[in-house]
């Protein structure tokens, strides 16, 4: 196993064990992976959001912030944001 493969494994391990919700989405905003913490924090089964667009879970007032976050992320910036999202109930 090469360095990049180990690095990706470490990144995924850290994301899976964080207290925050972390997700990986493609350029269209389609969720590819979401951290297991989504169940504890938001009540979602971690498999449910996968395949859905991230904007489906964002508060309408925060959609512009999400668009900006995604654009900066895809441009190669390291980004962090606080965006309101729906709880499962």
Max Cα-Cα span within the chain = 44
pLDDT in tens, the chain (89 residues): 565 566 777 777 777 777 888 888 888 889 988 888 899 899 999 888 889 999 999 999 999 999 998 888 888 888 877 889 999 99
Q: What is the pLDDT of residue 30?
A: 93
Please check whether residue 38 is in contact with residue 20, taking contact to mean a CB–CB distance below 8 angstroms: no
pLDDT score, position 3: 54
According to the model, what pLDDT value does residue 37 have? 87
Measure the CA–CA gap between 88 and 76, rounded to whole angstroms: 31
Contacts made by residues 16-24, CB under 8 angstroms, sequence distance 24+: 21/85, 23/49, 23/54
């Amino acid at each position: 196993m090469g360095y990049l493969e180990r690095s990706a494994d470490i990144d995924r391990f850290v994301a899976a064990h964080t207290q925050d919700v972390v997700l990986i989405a493609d350029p269209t905003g389609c969720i590819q992976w979401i951290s297991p913490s989504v169940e504890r924090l938001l009540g979602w089964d971690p498999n449910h959001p996968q395949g859905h667009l991230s904007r489906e879970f964002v508060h309408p007032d925060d959609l512009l912030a999400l668009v900006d976050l995604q654009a900066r992320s895809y441009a190669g910036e390291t980004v962090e944001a606080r965006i309101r999202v729906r709880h499962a109930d």
